[in-house]
Amino acid sequence: MPRLIFIFLLLTAITFLLGRISGNFWHRRAAGKSKPAGSSDTLVQDPHCLTYVSRTAAQAVRRDGVTHYFCGPACAAAFEKKQAEKDPASR
């Protein structure tokens, strides 16, 4: 009986290690089920600090017909200030 328990634990450990080496196949199966197909909650990049944020949680600022998404009001303000410095017509 102790020999069977040892073999079972050894096979479990080997399976776990092979899974970790091959790219976390345990987590890969669940990842496909985490978000329904056609979900509009995509990640967008903040043009100021270059972080990624969920589109639904991002602060959107429309400038020159283009919508920019920011992680927060501080990045949006810094981006607007930088754009105003670049554009001499807005002065």
Q: Tell me: the pLDDT tens digits for 35-85?
A: 555 556 799 999 989 999 999 889 999 988 999 999 999 999 999 999 888
In this prediction, residue 2 has a pLDDT band, given cuts at 50, 70 and 90, of confident
Q: Please indicate whether residue 82 or residue 33 has the higher confidence score (pLDDT).
A: 82
CA neighbor of 55 nearest in space, from 69, 67, 37? 69
Mapping DSSP to helix (H, G, I), strand (E, B) and coil, where does residue 64 land? coil
Q: Hey, which bits of 3-78 come out as E strands?
A: 43-45, 52-54, 59-63, 66-70
Q: How many other CB atoms are there within 10 angstroms of residue 35's CB atom?
A: 10
In this prediction, residue 7 has a pLDDT band, given cuts at 50, 70 and 90, of very high
For residue 65, give the amino acid letter.
G
pLDDT of 32 over the 50 cut: no
CB < 8 Å & 24+ apart, contacts of 12-16: none
pLDDT given at position 31: 46
